[in-house]
Structure 1
Amino acid sequence: MVASREGTRRRSGAIALICAAGLLAACSEVPTSGPVVAGNPVRAQDPLPYVAFGAAEPRAGADPAAIVDGFIDAMSAYQPGYEIAKLFLTPEAQATWNPSAGIMVHRGARPSIEVFDETLAQLTMTVIGEVREDGSFIAVNPDGPNKIDLPMEQVDGEWRIAEPPQGTIISEDNFAREYESHNLCFYNLDGEMFVYDPVYVPKSGQTATLLTQMLLAGPSEWLDPAVRTAFPEATTLSVASVPIDSGTATVDLSDAAAENTDAAQRSRMAVQLGCTLSGLPEVSRVAMNTDGIALLGQDESTIDAVVLERHDPNLLGAGGALYAIREGSLVRGDGDAPQPVQGALGVAEDLTEVAVDAGGGRAVVVAGFGTELQTAAVDSDSRRTILEGAGFTSPSWARNNVIWAVGQADSGGRLVAMTPEGAEIEVRAADLDQRDVQRVDVSPDGTRMALVVDGIAYLALVVVDGEARDHVSVERLRRIGPDSDALDVAWSGSERVALLVGDEEADPEVLVVDTFGAVQASRGTVVGAVFVAAGADQRLVVATEDGMLVEHESRTRWIELGEGGAPAYP
């Protein structure tokens, strides 16, 4: 059975172990070799090619502006310990400055520097994101320049920074050059599906070692309540590194990994490791040991470093047909113009929106021109009303068989949830009280929700609570995308969200946003677009206010599919 625990309890211990969760920014060099284990010969992992950054030390007699400029230069590339950067600080500041406290990423080549009366320097820059200690990235929508005061003092006649901000400061171009994103793999609360937790690590680090340490330390703070791990709480690496030999990464774990764990749990631990290391081209298999003994058994001591299909949320509904509403009935298309489905939904006249389960066989529709939620097998001759009310919109069929929608209340749109049989599920969402929920879509792994609330796009966690699973929490809202008014959201696989934005002065635009909230790409504008549909390995489709389905073909080019509205993929 999978062991559940709170990642935040483990995280503090992991930070002490690896010096800074996710980034190792204040560590000495991570050792690149460990003891040779009998029966499992390994060698040290070959480090990635790395050109040392030649940061210059402070010049004698440099004025405060030059000292601050040199400090910024010394942080512009990842350095273990940031020893050169510390030379620009007073001795007291060197003792208290923690470069591993996070990374502030700013727009442009470098901040502007202004000095006031030599004793105070000020940085001005536009911050676009922050990397936290756990390696997670938070995109920031700048509402103006950020200013940071740097008090200056003289030490033996030389100017030094007395109070630097905790963490490091780096431009977006240098950040892209020095760091890369990888996924840590955790299980959803059912223990059935992977949930990917993206983190940033330095490109010059020992990536397999860093990712393994971060996986054992637990999920990012934001994601923690919605996921679980197979590893027992006290599990750590028992050696300093994860060596790789002929494509096999050997992970030596502490005794906690073997204590009170059966073969099934160990297998889930190994699968979690294999998923996490699957993104490294140098790793094809994973061995998992304790005290030199293979935890998976001598007959099959390694597993493939892959994302197993049965746990991959991106395969849910992948390649499924497009569904839409035309003249009140349900239509379906698979690479061609959608046609009415067989059965009751295909001859209906009162449907306005649809969502389809991952298998593509069942649908929930907004019927009665917005007054009912109904379920039916897609090609069935009957349909069943599961909820009556007013103004239902935006249905979503989650992978755990919870049906979501937006219903109208006195304060605006509110979330409703129920089973396919019509049993209502209590929704606890304090962050949404007295706010107008307009659109909702649940991620393929079932742990996160994309929403439009008061015209703003958000991500939130979905946590099913209670032994009877009779209530669900929607919590930890996190804003995504630009400041433009959000019109609709749809998950494009488990790691991206398609976001339709627009305002009165511009045509609606389709953006692809990552789970950090940063815009990854624009797919162009579509005149009159009001709905967007997306899926893993699916082309984006929008519906316009005049009842036309339009499909994304390439870059910013869109082509018409035919008449229809409210498109949806399984």
Structure 2
Amino acid sequence: MRMAVCAGVAAVLLAGCASMPDSGDLRDVESTPRQDAQVRVFALPPPDDAAPSEIVQGFLEALTSDDPNYETARKYLAGDALTEWRPDASTTVLAEGPNRYAVASRTQESDEERVYRLTGEKTARVDAQNAYEPAEGSYRETVHLTRLEDSGQWRIDQLPQGVVMGKSDFQRTYVSVNKYYFTSATRSGQLGTVADPIYVRRQVDPVTQMVRSLLQGPTRWLDPVARTGFPSGTALREGVESLTPDDQNKLTVPLNDKADHVARDKCDEMAAQLLLTLQDLMPTGVDEVELQGPEGKKLCSLGEDRTDAVAAHGAGNDPEFEYFIAEDKRLVRMPVRSSAPAPEAVPGALGAGDMSFRSAAVARDEDRAAGVSLDGSDLYVGSLATASSLGEPVVHSEGQTEGDRLTTPSWDGRNDLWVADRDPDNPRLLMLRNGEGEPVEVTTPELDGRIKAVRVAADGVRIALILEQDDGKSSSLLVGRIERESGGSGDTAVSIVDLRSVTPRLEEVRAMSWAGDSRLVVVGRESGGVQQMRYVQVDGSTPDGPELAALTGVQEIAASEDESLPLVAHSEDGIVRLSSGSQWQQVVENGAAPVYPG
């Protein structure tokens, strides 16, 4: 006999009901069809006299609902499970909804207990800090059910910690949002900021979720290079359950006594973090944040118009131009916001000198640029403001072939210049402070392969590397943390640590660029597949949004941290641009190495 049970919703009845067997045959829990993000989904409590299979099914469906504290899911529990189950411990994401099937109970002849096995293929895990990480391998857990003595109803009394669901339910239920912290870098007296992406439940008071997460501090991966303006132990005032902006788009945040005596400048830092975080969460953002102490006393308020005076967000300034290497091997530029840009040579020796270049990087203030010579052996730095000569190269490679020499360079938000030397006999990742002086050799203890491309984020604490394996047939995109440690002589040791893959399913990554505070655009290919272009998050997840228009033969890609600006690519059609909502348009037939400042 089969019985159908559907989860209910507040505004719409879910269409996908799973049939549940009384026997032990393998069945899977069908993922809920993707609903509109504004539809809130609520599960039904267990029906009277529900069979064990119905209890398991109903519980798994309830995990994908929008109940704030999983109230309905808890109605399927009994005994120790009621008090010991912690749904916020983690969220395991499977390729499909979890399969479940009955297995032999611990007491073979007992009619008072049942055991069900949950299985599936893991694709990701969200931990207790709401941090996302790709995962793979098999998921295999059990739930134990018992028949209650007083009512005769079946309930789950043993289960794994956390929540499990299929990928489609995860995409409907959760949303990726950046929370913001400070870095040690300063730009013109301002604090630099760094984005820390996390996943929160989309329809379960996301404002309050984000504020609580922000107060708890950076995720473990980012914590060594980020700091918060909030004093240790700062939390929402006891009794505060929900935060909502008022009709003037102002959010009042009552805090506990840990923040009661902060100085005004520190309070402004705290408010700036909240404003940046909430602007990323909400389409209209929040115009003003007011912080209150434990007795309701106003600590400070900060409006959106003053945020930039406290902290530099992203690159700190909007780019004026896009750049690429023209057919004559000189650096040219074109206005960023022009609908029909006409390339022009940049001022100075990189645009009008005798030297030929194969790639370049422009400092974020657009006053200087670094160029790699046509054969890849030398790196030069020159002014874009004056007609001064280039002088001697700042880095030289001894690689025997052009492919074994210098990569395209990259500037970070601290005005430091980065480049990799691919010489097989002396592979190095180098950094030049302020783009000059003796190069610092960066320690890369976890690197397994040769660096094919390097891009440093505007925050100066995260770096993206395309790493090529020794066979030359496979390459991957990794994101690492940049750590700087000052020595006794005043020198600073620089290292790249905690490298993690952000494109685990791509066998070959050809090109990439930062395309937002925590997003990259990537050109690559899956095993046996064709070349594709996609956005990825620095945590390895795929952000919401439309797919990129197809483009063939892409060799290089450039994007800005300002997500409103067009993509620029070097493809088989030459230099092309893609503005939001349009198709790729050719700029010139011959050109290479497109870049934005950075």
How far 1:221 moved relative to its partner? 1.5
On the 8 A contact 2:321/2:333 being kept in 1, the answer is no
Secondary structure, in 3 states, of the residue corresponding to 1:208?
A: helix
2:383 is the counterpart of 1:363: no
| Identity rate, percent | 26
Contact 2:68 2:204 in 1 (8 A): no
Deviation at 1:496, TM superposition (A): 1.7
Letter in 2 for 1:497: L
**Selected match of 2:142 from 131, 141, 150:** 150
Between stretches 530-539 and 187-196, larger displacement belongs to 187-196
Question: 2:506 & 2:493 partners in 1: Cα distance?
Answer: 32
> Would you say the 8 A contact 2:565–2:579 is kept in 1?
no
Partner of 1:422: 437
Unaligned runs of 5+ in 2: 1-37, 106-113, 399-404, 469-474
**2:421 maps to which residue?**
407
Rate the CA distance shift 1:547–1:76 in 2: closer, same or farther, 3 A.
Answer: closer
Distance 1:196 1:558 in 2: 29
How far apart, CA to CA, are the structure 2 residues paired with 1:425 and 1:540? 32
> CA 1:369–1:286 in structure 2 vs 1: closer, same or farther (change >3 Å)?
same
Residues 341 and 153 of structure 1, relative CA distance in 2, 3 Å threshold: closer
Corresponding residue of 1:328: 329
Q: How does 1:191-230 map to 2 (within 5 A)?
A: 192-230=191-229
Distance 1:471-1:348 versus aligned 2 partners, 3 A rule? farther
Task: Return the TM-score normalized by structure 1.
Answer: 0.81
Q: Say if 2:179 and 2:198, in contact at 8 Å, map to a contact too.
A: yes
Opposite residue 322 of structure 1, the aligned amino acid is Y
Task: Look up the SS of the partner of 1:393 in the other structure.
Answer: coil
Deviates further, 418-427 or 342-351: 342-351
2:43–2:72 Cα contact (<8 Å) kept: no
Partner of 1:344: 349
Deviates more, 1:393-402 or 1:379-388: 379-388
What is the CA–CA distance in structure 1 between the aligned matches of 2:414 and 2:250, rounded to whole Å?
A: 35
- Per-residue CA deviation, residues 363-405 of structure 1 (Å, 9 max, x unaligned), is 1111262111110012533114211123011210111121111
CA contact (8 A) 1:153 1:161 kept: yes
State the shift of 1:101 in Å: 0.5
- Say if 2:315 is the partner of 1:289: no
5+ residue gaps, structure 1, are 1-48
Q: Which amino acid in structure 2 is aligned with residue 295 of structure 1?
A: L
What is the 5 A alignment of 1:453-532? 453-454=467-468, 455-466=475-486, 468=490, 470-481=492-503, 482-502=505-525, 507-520=530-543, 522-532=547-557
Q: 1:160 to 1:293 in 2, by over 3 A?
A: closer
**Quick one: which amino acid aligns to residue 500 of structure 2?**
R
Residue 276 of structure 1 deviates from its aligned partner by 2.5
Residue deviations 1:450-469, cap 9 Å, x none?
Answer: 11113011211222322646
Q: Do structure 1's residue 443 and structure 2's residue 457 form an aligned pair?
A: yes
Q: Is the 8 A contact 1:486 1:502 kept in 2?
A: yes
Matches within 5 A, 1:107-118: 107-108=95-96, 110-117=97-104
Give the SS at the match of 1:70. helix
Report whether the alignment pairs 1:543 with 2:543. no
SS at match of 2:125: strand
Alignment partner of 2:375: what SS?
helix
Q: Distance in 2 between matches of 1:116 and 1:239?
A: 45
Q: 1:248 to 1:151 in 2, by over 3 A?
A: closer
Displacement of 1:150 after TM fit?
1.2
Distance 1:294 1:162, change over 3 A: closer
The CA distance in 1 between the partners of 2:178 and 2:365, in whole Å, is 26
Corresponding residue SS for 2:431? strand
Alignment partner of 1:132 is 2:134: no
The answer as to whether partners of 2:506 and 2:527 remain within 8 angstroms in 1 is no
> TM-score, structure 2 length as denominator?
0.77
For residues 18-48 of structure 1, the C-alpha deviation after alignment (integer angstroms, 9 at most, x for no partner) is xxxxxxxxxxxxxxxxxxxxxxxxxxxxxxx
| Superposed CA RMSD | 3.1
**TM-superposition CA deviations, 1:176-219 (whole Å, max 9, x none):** 44333333221122252222222233344444333222222101
Higher relative contact order (CA 8 A, sep 6+): 1
